[in-house]
A and B are shown apart, each in its own frame.
Chain A
Amino acid sequence: MDVPDDRRYSIDHEWVLATGDRVRVGITDYAQDALGDVVYVELPQVGLEVRAGESLGEVESTKSVSEIYAPIGGRVTAVNSELADAPERMNSSPYDQGWICELDVADQSSIHGLLDAAGYRELTEG
């Protein structure tokens, strides 16, 4: 499974990539593989305020529905609207074209509470 070193990971299989004062959020390669073919994504509303662990939306695959949890708290500033018509990008490009949303994060240091790539590899391969 692909686990890029440039970002942090939650134990719920989301990734967080810092981009200046914002972070971008998506699901991991491990998560998309376990879900199977993604056919629908319920994206959050721009402006939604979430705390870590709260729901950011839903991912529906041919076999199940799964919740997306906010890996850290913040306010949604952008969503990947391309996923509405091409949710399969979460399978084909989970770390790039398959991103879900961007968060304005009040406490940037909260990202350090997440797993680094080595820690996430240990979680999924251990």
Chain B
Amino acid sequence: MRNDVRERRVAKGLSQGDLAQRLDVSRQTINSIETDRYTPSLPLAIAIARFFGVTVEEIFHADHN
């Protein structure tokens, strides 16, 4: 699932480690989400969206093809 986590994180001037710490997950998990290798659970996706002040749909883009 494509997402804009990296762009929004960089725009906030945060490192992957900073974001990981804010969300209480590992830096590896943030990296995997940003590179589309891991799709987060719904609670984590909501937490990420809330952190950036957007809706889940605005940051995660489901591909239906």
Q: Do A and B bind each other?
A: no
Interface residues of B (CB under 8 A from A): none
